[in-house]
């Protein structure tokens, strides 16, 4: 009498199913970026370039942007002296006028809380 070998193994099939579900859920998360956020205003960003930063802003106060650029370069010089590190290309800095406009951004995926990744000067 010959043994019949079956290809179905419940333990292996369950492991394959779990891995398949994980890969499918990762793909679904990647498709979320920039979707389903309410945008009340269409902000027209301009770019102010410095040697080490690209400042993205939409405010009309150019003197404030120039002052921010000067302070950013000063902090970069301090960072470079302490850590002995340099930027290979200019880093982007996105400036917003207030917290609600920051929360509408599509540069960061998902919902943004009140204190997420921003500094605000009163």
- Report the C-alpha gap between 36 and 110 in whole angstroms: 9
pLDDT of the chain, 122 residues: tens digit per residue: 566 555 555 555 566 656 656 565 555 545 555 555 666 677 889 999 999 999 999 988 889 999 999 999 999 999 999 998 888 899 999 888 887 777 777 776 666 666 565 554 44
Among the listed residues 36, 41, 32, the one whose alpha carbon sits nearest the alpha carbon of residue 101: 41
pLDDT of residue 43: 82
| Tokens coding 55 | 């400042």
Q: What is the pLDDT of residue 5?
A: 55
Biggest distance spanned by C-alpha atoms of the chain: 92
What pLDDT, on the 0 to 100 scale, is given for residue 122?
Answer: 43
Q: Give 29: exposed, middle or buried? Use CB within 10 Å, 0-12, 13-18, 19+.
A: exposed
**In the prediction, which pLDDT does 23 show?**
60
DSSP 4-46: PPPS--HHHHHHHHHHHHHHHHHHHHHTTTT-S---SS----E
Answering whether pTM is above 0.85, one says no
Cα Rg of the chain, angstroms: 25
The first and second tokens of residue 4, run together, are 């019949």
Among 32, 45, 29, 30, CA closest to 102? 45
């Amino acid at each position: 009498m010959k043994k019949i070998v079956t290809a179905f193994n419940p333990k292996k099939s369950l492991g394959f199913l779990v891995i398949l579900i994980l890969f499918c859920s990762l793909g679904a998360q990647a498709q979320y970026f920039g979707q389903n956020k309410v945008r009340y205003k269409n902000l027209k960003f301009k770019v102010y370039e410095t040697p080490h930063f690209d400042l993205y802003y939409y405010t009309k106060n150019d003197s404030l942007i120039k002052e921010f650029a000067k302070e950013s370069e000063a902090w970069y010089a301090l960072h470079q002296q302490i850590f002995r590190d340099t930027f290979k290309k200019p880093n982007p800095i996105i400036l917003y006028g207030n917290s609600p406009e920051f929360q509408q951004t599509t540069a960061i995926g998902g919902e943004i809380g009140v204190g997420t990744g921003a500094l605000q000067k009163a």
